[in-house]
Amino acid sequence: MSTAQVWAVIVLGGLGTFACRAVLLLGAERFGDPGVATARVLRMIPPAALGALVAPGVLRHGGELDVLSWRLVAAAAAVLVGWRTSNVTAAVVVGLGLLTALQQLT
Amino acid sequence: MAPVLLGVIPFGVVFGATAVDSGMGIVEVLGFSIVVFAGASQLAAVELLGDGGAVLVTSATIWVINLRHLMYGASLGTHLAGTSRPGRWLGAYLLTDQAYVVTVSRCTDAEPLVHDDRVPYLIGAGLGLWATWQAASVAGALLGAGIPDEVPLDFAVPLVFLTLLVPALRDRPSVLAAVVGGAATVAVAEAGLPDAALLLGALVGIAAGTIADAAGPSANDLASPGELT
């Protein structure tokens, strides 16, 4: 791997990434007001994306499936705290603290 | 915003340390973090390059991982229609999972952001994440492998998203979208395509939620989402 190859990846990867970010963020309104069907699809993006962002971090570890782990317990505790308090900081601190404690104890 | 930034730090540190471990210098680390500015794809790219990956294969991996930003752009684009275009160019560069999630939830709140405040909110959230990401990447490059692993800081990332997920579950279709999206992502990763898992899994979840929404009774607004602090 030469420095030139690394920079080629940085530039190509960066251009493609920026295109993905910009094309619809700036172009969405060209399609006019979204109809009922499109609005229905768009409304499902946040929950589906969040589910996809969360699940591997909780259910997989070290590149392998690991469903019944302390991560699941810590995640459940964080959900409970977040739901009761609406405080993301408290939820993250409780989840991380609990996972650290459980891993040290076992 | 504070816990969102906190969650980014270990991720950035891991990226910087992995890049140096793969034989890159601090200039290349900053090159990735400034030009690409997308954590999961940066980590995958430096791992591939470290194993002798080819330029095109590695670049294509970055594109596949970041194709999900098309979804975020489509979703946010409708909330930002008619706002300042220069602001949206900057917002596009700063768009990340975290900036998308906090901005879209403030646009769909019970008391949503007024229209003119939406692009500044995206840019503000994005700049905070950007500065944190650069600092954490450099710190990781300097610290290298000398990071204690007693505290599972990497778990902060899914915890932040999990806490933001709860208020996004407004009705039955959105719950289905989240559950199917998560399960499909894990399934795709298990099937040996971890780089495409997030994109493909989210698409399956969107399809499931949309079908349930179209088939079920008319959409209802059950919950008022919690405040993001």
Model pTM score = 0.80
Q: Could you identify the residue written with the tokens 């489509």?
A: B74
Mean pLDDT computed over B58-67: 90
CB-CB under 8 Å, A52 with B77: no
φ/ψ region of B16 (left if φ > 0, alpha if ψ in -120 to 50, else beta) reads alpha
A87 vs B: CB within 8 A: yes
CB-CB under 8 Å, B152 with A44: no
Contacts of B2 (CB under 8 A, 6+ apart): A89, B229
Whether the predicted pLDDT of B228 surpasses 70: no
Going by pLDDT thresholds of 50, 70 and 90, the confidence category of residue B179 is very high
CB-CB under 8 Å, A52 with B181: yes
CB-CB under 8 Å, A48 with B178: yes
Residues of A with Cβ-Cβ distance to B2 under 8 angstroms: 89
The residue count of chain B comes to 229
Mean pLDDT computed over B164-185: 93
Whether the predicted pLDDT of A70 surpasses 90: yes
Residues of A with Cβ-Cβ distance to B185 under 8 angstroms: 51-52, 55-56
Which ipTM score applies to this complex? 0.86
Q: What is the DSSP letter of A68?
A: S
Could you give the CA distance from residue B181 to residue B173 in angstroms, rounded to a whole number? 12
Output phi, psi for B158, to 5 deg: -65, -30
Could you give the CA distance from residue B109 to residue B227 in angstroms, rounded to a whole number? 8
Mean pLDDT computed over A93-103: 91
Whether the predicted pLDDT of B224 surpasses 70: no
pLDDT of B132 reads 96
**CB atoms closer than 10 angstroms to residue B115:** 13
Residues of B with Cβ-Cβ distance to A75 under 8 angstroms: 158-159, 162
pLDDT of B227 reads 41
pLDDT digit string, tens, across residues A21-48? 999 999 887 877 778 888 899 889 989 9
CA dihedral B130, B150, B101, B182 (to 10 degrees): 140
Residues of A with Cβ-Cβ distance to B105 under 8 angstroms: 46
As given in the structure block, the two tokens for residue B85 are 């275009």
Are the C-beta atoms of B127 and B4 separated by less than 8 Å? Answer: no
Mean pLDDT (chain B, rounded): 87
Are the C-beta atoms of B32 and A10 separated by less than 8 Å? Answer: yes
Mean pLDDT computed over B43-52: 87
Could you give the CA distance from residue B226 to residue A79 in angstroms, rounded to a whole number? 13
Contacts of B39 (CB under 8 A, 6+ apart): B8, B11, B12, B15, B96, B133
- How far apart, in Å, are the Cα atoms of B29 and each of B19, B23, B24, B32, B141? 7, 10, 7, 5, 7
**CB atoms closer than 10 angstroms to residue A13:** 27
